[in-house]
Each structure stands twice: as C-alpha cells, then as structure tokens.
A and B are shown apart, each in its own frame.
Chain A
Amino acid sequence: MNTTTHRHTHRHMIATISLPALAATLGSLIALAQTPPATTPTAAPRVGGGGIFLEKSFPAIESGPWSGKRTSDGQPDVEGDWSNTIGNHNNFTDPQGGIPGDPTARNRTLGPRDQRAPSRVSDPADGQIPYQPWARAKQQELAAGLWNAVKPEYIEPHDRCAPGGVPKIFTHTGWEIRQYPGKVLFLFDSSWRLIYLDNPKHLPENLKLWNGDSRGHWEGNTLVVDVSNDNAKARFARTADFASENVHVVERYIFSPDGKRYNYVATFTDPTVYTRPFTVTIPNKRWTLDDPRNGWHYQAREANNPGGPRIADHYERICVENNGGFGQVAITANQQN
C-alpha cells in the first residue's frame, strides 16, 4: 500500500462516515448567516463495508502462563500489527449493526440480532452499558445529534483528529505494538499510548488526558493496565457512549498461546455515570504481510528491501484531516457562528 492509498483511507473515513455529520453541522451553522445550503448528503456511507467485520463470534482466551517468545527484558513478545475482528466504531453495543438513526444507510436489513457479533459489553449479560438514567438520556441526545449536528459537541471529537480515547481506539483502524524494556508502546492512526511497566505511580490527578495515563504489568500471558486521568472528552463510538473524568479502567490484554490473537477485557468503573461497573470485551487478531490487504485493519506495506526479507513498514501516522483542514473546517464554521 502506498501513501496515496493511506491518505485515501483517511479521506475514505471522512467521506463515508464523517461527511454527513460535518455537512449537517456546516449547514446548520452557516445557515445562520447565509442562504441555507443543501444538507442532503450526496453519497451514501458504506457503513461497515470493506472487510471490517471479520467474524461474528470469537474464542475465549484464558489467562495463564506464557510459553512463547519473549523480549530482551522478559516480556511476552507481542510486537507487531493488530486490529479488532468484529467491527468498527459505528456502534458500541451492536458492533455490526451500523449507526443507529443513520439516514443514509444502504438499503439492507440487519436480520436477527444473534446473527451479528455480540455486544462489546460482556457484563452485564444484557450487553448494555449500565447508565444512570440521566446519562442514558444524554447518550441518546448526543447519538441523535450525530445526524443533526446543530451543536459543536455533536461532532465526534475523533472526527477532528482528537485521539480516540479508551476504549474507542481499539475499535478504529489497526494499531502497532512496539515493546521496550519497561514499556509497551501502542501506535494508532491519530494517537499513541505508552504503557509504563516500571512505574505504577499515576500522574497527578488533576492532569486529564485524551488517552488517559496507563500503568501496567504482565501476569503470565496477560498485560494488565490500570488507566486513570481520562479527560472523558472522547466518545466510545458513534453511539456517543461516554464516561466521566472519574472513570477508572482496568484493562486485561490476554494473549493466545500462539501469539496470533488477544482478547481485550476491560472493567469500567465510574459511579458518577453508571449504576455498576461493566466489562468490555474486544477480540483482536495479528496482521502480517501474509494477510490479504485490508485498508481498515492493516495499513502496513512492504518496505523497500531489495534482496532482503519482507518487512512490514508504516508511513507516518499523522491525521490528515487535522493537518489538512478537516478539523479546521469545522472550527472555521463554528467561529462563523
């Protein structure tokens, strides 16, 4: 894959997913001062298309000892490219169900719920986030606002290249893991996370961050990460699910013995928003150059290495929308308001 395709991938994200919301917002805001423009999207989004939904069910992986390859400092070696297997960020609790209320969805019937991947909420058993009533109402308002973004906050911040935050970053495009003594680095399309293994002390409580502050350790095949300092500005999905700044997340990345999969199992606790803690489960698979090309899950390409081994290479991860004006366009529109 060359960078042209890479950039097209970004633009693809704008054109197929973000454009309706952006168009609606621009339309609404500009309408205050100018002749109302057409707000009907010209292109129907390919919601969930392009080989994003790889499987409808997935195996459990038990926590236990690690017998596979290790890094120089003794960590289980899990370096490489990864992506989730069940869907994207359209819908948190129905990962293959599309964005609720999507007025531009293609004409397709979803069929019975049990023919799609399960909710990412694995506990409670009903698959729903246990919101307090006010929080459920707020989530519904924000989710509806995606399609009629008359307020700036109805635009999802991730559309403006803000970091995806926890847990949304694990439902977006694929990511790379690099490991170092005492550290695990996650590289996402528009942000990164550095998991500190050698210092459990979180940052001062008043520092609130898009991707939070991550302190981890290994328990056999499981990377356990304690996440705090979340600024709670990111949404979980286009369904506008959210936490507050008080959220505390304990993530468990449970790697399979063959090193080809891991399940992300995370407990979210936030008494200000939810009635009880809940668990998020996201299945993931490793990607290599032997896999078929997939512009969503795997944006690596083969490095220029004549006569040498095949090496997966990534071009710079810079959110083009941000630098190129996508976010700026939205800001400009807002400033006209």
Chain B
Amino acid sequence: MTTRRGIQGFRQGIGALMAACVLLGPGLALSQSAAGGKIPRQANGKPDLSGIWQTTSAADFDLEAHIGRKDAPPGLGIVEGGSIPYTSAALAKKQKNFENRLTADPRLKCWTLGTPRGIYYPEPFEILQRPQDVTVVFEFGDTVRTIHTDGTLHPVDTDHEFWLGDSRGHWEGDTLVVDVRDFNDQTWLSRAGDWHDEALHIVERWKLIDANTIDYQATIEDPNVYSKPWNIEVFLYRHREKDFQLIENYCYTLDYDQYYPYPKS
C-alpha cells in the first residue's frame, strides 16, 4: 500500500506539473519532455504496457542492414553489431532460405510468427496486462501469447516445442524481463530467411521510455545455429488513432474461406 500511495502521489504531482505546463505555455512543456515524461502504471505500481503497439522499422523484412529490393524497403537493421553470428553451416541454410523466401517463409501460410518475430512484424498487436500475466494478442493470425509474471517457473518438462515458446517474466525496476524457451523449429525470424532450431532461447527486455514508446530488446541464443548470443533492439509505438483496434485476421483461413460463403437458397 505504501508503494501504491507513493505512486499515486507521484502521479498527482506529475498531473500538477502538466497543468502548470498548460498554464505557463509551451516553453515548460519542452523541459518536461526532456525530463522523460511519465509512463502509465498499474495499480501495483508496475509500468502499464497495455495498449496497441507496432514497429515502424523494416526489421521483419531483414534484421540486418540492407538496401531496398523488390520485396523489401531498405533498413538499417536492428542487430547489435550489424550481423547475426551464424555458424558457417547455419549461414548456408539462411542463404538458401533467403533464395526461397518468396515461397518458403512460414508467414505466407499465416503460420504463427513466433517469438520475437511477432513483436516486430509490421502489423499491430495488443497488450492486455494483469498483475499475474501480460497477454499479447497479435492481429496477424490472431495469435495469443501469455507472459506469466506470477513468479511461476518454466514447466519442468521442456520438450513441448511451442510456436511462441514458454514465457516467464519478472520486473527489474521498470523493465519487464522475460525468459522464453522451449520452441519448435517451424518459425523464421524474418522474411530474409533468418532461422533457429529447438534450442532457441530468448531473453526479452520491455521498457516504456515514455508513455507511447516501448524500447524492446532481446538477446537471442541458439548454440546449434549461432556462434554466440546476439542482441536486437527495436522501438514499438503506441497506436493513438481514435477508435483504433485490432481487426480479426485469421489469415490462415484465406486459403479455404472461399468454400464457405454463407449458405444461400
């Protein structure tokens, strides 16, 4: 309760500051912005990630820096250090995937994008947050991912081979740190054919840097595919358009929904 009162007091203080900014004009607003602004918080004081988010990056087209091509806009890449440290054998497979990307990308079948690809895929997702979990609902394929924040551990048996991995998170200060493991090998990390196998292990760090921006970082390791762990970082922006919402997109039905016009006489 002390924390909660403290947070509420903090929020009231910021509210008073904002009111002062409005009264005193735009000059002070700049200094508030420079101070980082405030972030939304839940009743328990934890940062509130609720909302609809989307990247503006070209990460899904290619995680590494690339010039424009017919199937991708250019991008600076989101891999720390520039390139993914594939083993030589794994790099050959990535290159083969790249050559076949226009037909082999699991995205084209609307299969579950997986983790972390769903986060930087260029289609919105919604976060719904309770103290015990953070639910991530992806528009693409209407996939639902639960990040457990109730202190529970990964399942003891670890051969489930999930599409999204098993996600257990905890708060380190204002950063949600999520350990994700127990994957299958069916997902790609990008349209460029970046891949992993069942040994994939991801540690995500989600942090609100202002009310409308999440700094998303992830460390990706898979000793069968990469020579060392590697990091990505991408910003996610809040959708603030009036009445914006996810629109159902069970795109894996598109190959057969033509057979189901509603019956007519």
- Contact residues of A with B, CB < 8 Å? 2-4, 72, 134-135, 138-139, 142, 151-153, 155, 157, 160-163, 178, 180, 183, 185, 187, 191-192, 194, 196, 199, 201, 203, 207, 209-211, 231-234, 242-245, 303-306, 308, 311, 313-318, 322-323, 327-328, 330-331, 334
Contacts and interface: CB of A to CB of B under 8 A. Distances in A.
B239 to A, nearest CB: 14
Interface stretch (B60-68, B72-80, B89-97, B242-250): B242-250
A134 to B, nearest CB: 4
Interface stretch (B17-25, B141-149, B202-210): B141-149
Interface residues of B, number: 50
For B144, B146, B262, the residue with the greatest tally of chain A CB atoms inside 10 Å of its CB is B262
Interface in B126-151: 126, 128-130, 133, 135, 137, 142-146, 148, 150-151
A3 B260 contact: no
Contacts of A201: 243
Interface string B244-265: 0111101011011101111111
B109 interface: yes
Given A162-B253, A185-B128, A306 B153 contact: yes
Given A178-B130, A315-B162, A2 B155 contact: yes
Nearest to A331: B255
Contact of A327 (B142, B160, B256): B256
Given A185-B128, A210-B253, 15 more contacts: A178-B128, A178-B130, A180-B128, A183-B128, A194-B126, A207-B247, A231-B257, A233-B262, A242-B263, A244-B263, A304-B153, A305-B151, A308-B152, A318-B162, A318-B163
Nearest to A270: B262
A233 B260 contact: yes
Given A191-B142, A323-B112, A308 B163 contact: no
B186 interface: yes
A197 to B, nearest CB: 13
Contacts, number: 140
B248 A160 contact: no
A135 B148 CA distance: 46
A192 to B, nearest CB: 6
Interface of B: 43, 50, 109, 111-112, 126, 128-130, 133, 135, 137, 142-146, 148, 150-157, 160, 162-164, 166, 186, 243, 245-248, 250, 252-253, 255-257, 259-265
A234 B157 CA distance: 36
B256 A316 contact: no
A244 B262 contact: yes
B250 A152 contact: no
B135 A185 contact: yes
